[in-house]
């Protein structure tokens, strides 16, 4: 089974690898910049700050995509020059308002818009500061053949959305 976000976006890192190779092969090996890549999390407004900043699923999403981009560069000689995560902070999504959150920083709309770095942001900062590459050991126990890692412990169906959604460990 391939995971999906609460917006129904399929999480399939190996698909990114295949797409990067396809672009390389079909378009004369251009320099590639990934301008928007991220994962939303449903927030009905009832989470505490502590619950909201523990975004294990987003952290694993970022790790799995960075790992697959590294494989594309090393194995397929893809000229990937830039990667931009969506997004730095929670923002207004046209279809869902503030219920879908993408940020590496949690914006507390109930407390004067205070920003709190999420665990995914902390992990990314540490990874970038370390100047080390990801190794497969980060993904032990995860799905085979490039499928998405386990994002959350619980799955549920949102009443107004037929698509499979993932809840935080705090639900």
Residue 135 lies in a domain: yes
Residue 36 lies in a domain: yes
Residue 47 lies in a domain: yes
CA dist., res. 107 & res. 89, Å (int): 7
The 8-class DSSP code of residue 142 comes to S
Residue 3 lies in a domain: no
Residue 2 lies in a domain: no
Residue 168 lies in a domain: no
Residue 61 lies in a domain: yes
State the alpha helices, DSSP H only, in the chain: 13-26, 49-53, 56-76, 119-130
Range of the domain at 17: 13-152
Residue 126 lies in a domain: yes
Encode the chain (171 residues) as per-residue pLDDT tens digits: 458 888 888 899 999 999 999 999 999 999 999 999 999 988 888 899 999 999 999 999 999 999 999 999 999 999 999 999 999 999 888 888 888 899 999 999 999 999 999 999 999 999 888 866 555 434 434 444 444 444 444 444 444 444 444 443 333
Question: What Cα–Cα distance (Å) separates residue 11 from each residue in 50, 61, 131, 171?
Answer: 25, 8, 26, 21
Please enumerate in sequence order all residues whose Cβ is within 8 A of that of 138, keeping only pairs 6 or more positions apart, or say none. 63, 67
pTM of the model: 0.76
Question: In total, how many domains does the chain have?
Answer: 1
How many Å separate Cα 149 from the centre of its chain? Answer: 11
CA dist., res. 15 & res. 51, Å (int): 30
């Amino acid at each position: 089974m391939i995971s999906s976000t609460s917006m129904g976006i399929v999480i399939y890192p190996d698909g990114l690898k295949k797409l990067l190779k396809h672009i390389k092969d079909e378009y004369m090996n251009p320099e590639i910049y990934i301008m928007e890549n991220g994962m939303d999390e449903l927030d009905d407004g009832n989470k505490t700050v502590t619950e909201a900043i523990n975004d294990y699923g987003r952290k694993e999403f970022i790790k799995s995509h960075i790992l697959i981009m590294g494989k594309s560069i090393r194995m397929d000689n893809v000229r990937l020059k830039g990667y931009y995560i969506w997004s730095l902070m929670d923002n207004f999504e046209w279809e869902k308002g503030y219920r879908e959150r993408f940020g590496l920083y949690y914006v507390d709309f109930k407390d004067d818009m205070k920003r709190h770095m999420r665990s995914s942001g902390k992990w990314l900062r540490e990874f970038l500061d370390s100047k080390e590459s990801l190794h497969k050991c980060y993904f032990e126990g995860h799905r085979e053949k490039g499928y998405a890692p386990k994002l959350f412990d619980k799955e549920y169906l949102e009443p107004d959305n037929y698509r499979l959604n993932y809840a935080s460990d705090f639900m």
